[in-house]
């Protein structure tokens, strides 16, 4: 973990004496804790990571996850585990470990107000600075261990994507299909879903962040499935669109247009390219079709310890792509009252372009009713 700590510190200016990451209770857990300390399981509520400029990390854990913490730190001379029983003990130990440090960096984006007021109270001599942007910049490019976990999460999602057509039957509800998909991801090794699974039948597919309900699948419906697996804390995010029963000629052409838009976006990916060019490449394809203006969201985002890992891109984002970035590419066309099509894949930016992480078929597929 030393390399990750040093990576964050390279982006910090001015340099603090230490970086302190504090977890509250689920779901208010700072994923940077798990970036600096790659423990694959456990909540670590109330735990603290104190990272030092020399790459050393002190981890304060409750007894609930002490065994997992010790196992994760085994063999890493740069990580030291401290097991504490109560909040007061945590505060005293933080005071001791911080020592004479006066300048502390905090992740303002994730730190709870309650934790901040505690820090101000028991570290009265300290000054605090926001490390949020430095953390984002460090986490946006992935090391080989992270890419391996992302690839496994993507493999699980892709396998389920290939199985979805066999699960479709007339009368199945959106919620039933979502539950079946999540069950199959778990059977393949996922520790859970990386976000709330989206299954949208018919007109519901025109809402990108739709929440599945009791709607039943009928012949002639389009289907949008947006889902992902969590593997050792790393997420995948894949969307596939299908058609059930009798053909809808317009939505078939929409699907073909979205495929073309995704290919154009992928061709724009290379280190040093402005991220907005990936979005604009897809937008140009869609805006030259009969469905101009129906791409209603940015074409992608970073993916990692969370499914939206701190960075997204659209037509105005000038940030340059970097080798090692893991991003989604997800153009879509949405027709209110009719349906929608989105195709989403996870890729890693390479020296010469990109590499797919997700591999399920992307082409138009009609499933017989």
- Let me know whether 283 and 323 are in one domain: yes
- Residues spanned by the domain of 117: 2-139
Task: Give CA separation, 269 vs 140, 326, 346, 347, 351, in Å.
Answer: 15, 11, 12, 10, 10
pLDDT in tens, the chain (369 residues): 899 999 999 999 999 999 999 999 999 999 999 999 999 999 999 999 999 999 999 999 999 999 999 999 998 999 999 999 876 789 999 999 998 778 999 999 999 999 999 999 999 999 999 999 999 999 999 999 999 999 999 999 999 999 999 999 999 999 999 999 999 999 999 999 999 999 999 999 999 999 999 999 999 999 999 999 999 999 999 999 999 998 899 999 999 999 999 999 999 999 999 999 999 999 999 999 999 999 999 999 999 999 999 899 999 999 999 999 999 999 999 999 999 999 999 999 999 999 999 999 999 999 998
* Number of separate domains in the chain: 2
pTM of the model: 0.95
- Let me know whether 77 and 215 are in one domain: no
331-357: b (≥16 Cβ within 10 Å) or e: bbbbbeeebbbbbbbbbbbeeeebeeb
- Among 177, 34, 21, 187, smallest CA distance to 111 is for 21
- Give the pLDDT confidence score for residue 102 in this predicted structure: 86
Q: Which residue is associated with the tokens 């340099």?
A: 15
Q: Residue 290: which CATH number?
A: 3.90.230.10
Q: Residue 25: which CATH number?
A: 3.40.350.10
- Let me know whether 135 and 148 are in one domain: no
Query: Last residue of some domain: 139, 167, 194?
Result: 139
CA distance 108 to 132: 6
SS3 67: helix
- Give the pLDDT confidence score for residue 87 in this predicted structure: 67
- Let me know whether 87 and 148 are in one domain: no
- Give the pLDDT confidence score for residue 88 in this predicted structure: 72
Q: Which residue is associated with the tokens 């009368």?
A: 171
Query: Last residue of some domain: 139, 155, 185?
Result: 139
- Let me know whether 74 and 133 are in one domain: yes
- Let me know whether 104 and 152 are in one domain: no
Query: Last residue of some domain: 117, 139, 161?
Result: 139
- Let me know whether 188 and 117 are in one domain: no
- Let me know whether 163 and 119 are in one domain: no
- Let me know whether 133 and 170 are in one domain: no
- Let me know whether 312 and 261 are in one domain: yes
């Amino acid at each position: 973990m030393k390399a990750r700590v040093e990576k964050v510190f390279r982006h910090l200016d001015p340099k603090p004496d230490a970086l302190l990451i504090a977890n509250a209770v689920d779901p208010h857990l700072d994923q940077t804790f798990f970036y600096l300390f790659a423990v694959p399981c456990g909540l670590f509520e109330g735990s603290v990571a104190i990272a030092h400029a020399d790459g050393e990390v002190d981890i304060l854990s409750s007894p609930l996850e002490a065994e997992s913490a010790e196992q994760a730190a085994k063999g890493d001379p740069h990580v030291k585990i401290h097991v504490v029983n109560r909040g007061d003990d945590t505060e005293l130990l933080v005071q001791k470990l911080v020592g004479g440090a006066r300048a502390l960096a905090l992740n303002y984006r994730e730190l709870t107000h309650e934790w901040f007021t505690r820090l101000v109270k028991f570290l009265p001599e300290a000054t605090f600075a926001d490390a949020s942007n430095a953390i984002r910049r460090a986490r946006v490019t992935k090391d080989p261990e992270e890419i391996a976990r992302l690839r496994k999460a993507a493999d699980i999602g892709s396998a389920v994507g290939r199985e979805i057509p066999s699960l479709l039957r007339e009368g199945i509800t959106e919620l039933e299909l979502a539950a079946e998909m999540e069950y199959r991801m778990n059977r393949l090794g996922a520790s859970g879903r990386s976000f709330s699974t989206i299954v949208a039948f018919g007109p519901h597919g025109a809402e990108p962040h739709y929440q599945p309900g009791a709607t039943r699948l009928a012949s002639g419906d389009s289907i949008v499935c947006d889902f992902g697996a969590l593997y050792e804390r790393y997420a995948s995010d894949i969307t596939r669109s299908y058609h059930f029963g009798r053909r809808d000629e317009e939505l078939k052409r929409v699907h073909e247009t979205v495929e073309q838009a995704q290919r154009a976006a992928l061709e724009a990916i290379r280190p040093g390219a402005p991220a907005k060019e990936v979005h604009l490449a897809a937008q140009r394809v869609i805006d030259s079709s009969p469905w101009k203006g129906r791409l209603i969201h940015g074409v992608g985002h970073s993916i990692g310890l969370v499914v939206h890992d701190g960075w997204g891109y659209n037509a105005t984002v000038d940030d340059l792509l970097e080798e090692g970035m893991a991003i989604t590419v997800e153009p879509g066309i949405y027709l209110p009252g009719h349906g929608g099509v989105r195709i989403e894949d996870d890729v890693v930016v390479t020296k010469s372009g990109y590499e797919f992480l997700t591999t399920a078929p992307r082409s138009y597929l009609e499933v017989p009713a």
